[in-house]
Amino acid sequence: MERVFEIIEEQLHLSGMELSEDMSLKDDLGADSIDLVELVMALEDEYGIEMQYEELEKRVKTVGDVIEYLSEQGADV
C-alpha cells in the first residue's frame, strides 16, 4: 500500500503531502484527466497489470479506491 501512495505522490507531484485512503484524487489532490492517465500507466508498469481507464473513471474516486481496484486485479499491494 505504501508503494501505491508513493506512485500517486510522484505522478501528481505531491511532495511531502500526507496521503490517506479517503482522499479524493480530483477534489483533494487536484488530479485532472491527464494526471489520471499517467497514474494508470505508472500503476500498470509497477504491478504488471492492465487497467481499463474507462472503468477506473467510473469506479475510482479516492486513494482507497485505487488500492481496492488494484487488489481486485490481482496486484500485491
Active-site amino acid positions: 32
Give the Cα separation of 61 and 68 in Å (integer).
11
Strand partners, 24: 62
Which residues, including other chains, have CB under 8 Å from residue 36's CB and lie 6 or more apart?
A: 25, 53, 56, 57
For residues 76 and 38, is the Cβ–Cβ distance under 8 A? no
